Amino acid sequence: MAQSPSCRKLYAAPGNPGIELAAECVPIAADDLDGLIGFVRAHAIDFVVVGPEAPLVAGLADRLRAIDIPVFGPSAAAAQLEGSKGFTKDLCARAGIPTAAYVRCTSAEDARAALEGFAIPVVIKADGLAAGKGVIIAETRAEAKAAIADMFAGAFGGAGAEVVIEEFMTGEEASFFALSDGANVIAFGSAQDHKRVGDGDTGPNTGGMGAYSPAPVLTADLEAQVMDRIVRPTVATLAAEGTPYVGVLFAGLMLTAEGPKLIEYNCRFGDPECQVLMMRFNGDFAALLHAAATGALADAAPPAFSHDYALTVVMAANGYPGTPEKGGVIRRIADAEAGGVRVFHAGTARSEGAIVAAGGRVLNVTATGKSVTEAQARAYAAVDRLDFPSGFCRRDIGWREVAREAE
């Protein structure tokens, strides 16, 4: 946004030590809707981009539109695409969008009964927002029953008040992005991320331990199928039902033997996918998002991306995705950024003049290259220049594509 010629002044709420280099940070929490609206009024803000999902689900975009402020982000009704797994599955059923077979359950008893209709492995999802962690792939019926019990017992807070049981799909995962102004929709790149915490895709699911873009496995033909069979029907259905979708659609896909199927939607650019998309994007990003926010996407220039690959490695705090160790000092970020590498901040804060870990996923070390292999090598060289003793990362981000490039 700060690099956009059309952006004269950028504010970030609440911001962090990374974004303060590009924006003026204001101490307003992302879920403080009253505080945000007050700031927008007081500073005569022209345009708002809502990054995280929680304020969208809470209705921030609706409140901004009510005072005639252009906003990039869906209404609370349309943000249910991420806010409720069951809402999205039902929409897929209505619109004929390919996805996994599913059952929605409102009690542990119902869920245990529904489980008998599914083969193993099976996917158990908390219906609501769970910071990317409310998904369990159960390898046995005992694991599935335990996941059901945990969710209804409050393991993911209110997100588990309803549970969705899904058929386990086989294939390779990919992420596809599109921008919508409520009626028009355009493609906005692809990526692949790595959800499991450990090397070799082992351990529990996380919000994402790294990603690369583009995803060569998502060919031009497959992207066209995704637009025609998944994304456009979603936008058309929401518009027809009176809840037009304005913002970014992040489609998590499974590339199955029957073709691409929707796993789930996010109503934001995603982390760590956003970082690799931004490293490759060429153009006025603020102007493009403003066109989507004001119904002018049909007149906007198509998004342009570098032909280089971008790869990001998440540095997480020890203990993540359980209880992360906060307060660990991070040094040598400037050294890591040598040679065009970018270190994006996620869970960081300032303490006594030092930058410290303040969350689970702390940094995204992001590099580009002519191949995924080259981008990976540059990213890990930068990781090794960092001084973050209480942090860790996966050492195999991009492994699928690196293996394919070596063939």
Chain segment 294-351, per-residue pLDDT in tens: 999 999 988 999 999 999 999 999 999 999 999 999 999 999 999 999 999 999 999 9
Is the pLDDT reported for residue 13 higher than 90?
A: yes
CB 87 within 8 Å of CB 80? yes
How high is the pLDDT of residue 141? 94
Q: Which ranges constitute the DSSP H helices of 101-208? A: 108-115, 141-152
Q: What is the mean pLDDT of residues 206-230?
A: 96
Tokens representing 381? 């060289």
For 280-310, b/e burial (b = at least 16 CB within 10 A) is bbebbbbbbbbbbbeeebeebeebebeebbb
- The pLDDT > 70 percentage for the chain reads 99
Mean pLDDT of the chain: 95
Is the pLDDT reported for residue 389 higher than 70?
A: yes
pTM: 0.94
The gap from C-alpha 308 to its chain's centroid, in whole angstroms, comes to 21
What is the spatial distance between Cα 76 and Cα 60, in angstroms, rounded to a whole number?
A: 8
Is the pLDDT reported for residue 132 higher than 70?
A: no
Q: What is the mean pLDDT of residues 112-123?
A: 94
How high is the pLDDT of residue 376? 98
The gap from C-alpha 109 to its chain's centroid, in whole angstroms, comes to 32
E strands present in 22-121: 24-25, 48-49, 71-72, 102-105
Task: Verify cis geometry, omega within 30 degrees of 0, for the bond prior to 27.
Answer: no
What is the spatial distance between Cα 315 and Cα 346, in angstroms, rounded to a whole number?
A: 10
What is the spatial distance between Cα 60 and Cα 159, in angstroms, rounded to a whole number?
A: 19
218 — pLDDT class (breaks 50, 70, 90)? very high
CA-based nearest residue to 32, from 9, 63, 7, 1: 63
How high is the pLDDT of residue 160? 82
Task: Tell me the helix, strand and coil percentages in the chain, rounded to 5.
Answer: 35, 30, 40
Is the pLDDT reported for residue 136 higher than 90?
A: no
Alpha-carbon distance values, 23 to 16, 59, 293 (Å) = 10, 24, 21
Tokens representing 119? 């083969």
How many CA atoms lie within 13 Å of 363's alpha carbon, on the beta-carbon side?
Answer: 34
What is the spatial distance between Cα 254 and Cα 208, in angstroms, rounded to a whole number?
A: 16
What is the spatial distance between Cα 207 and Cα 193, in angstroms, rounded to a whole number?
A: 10
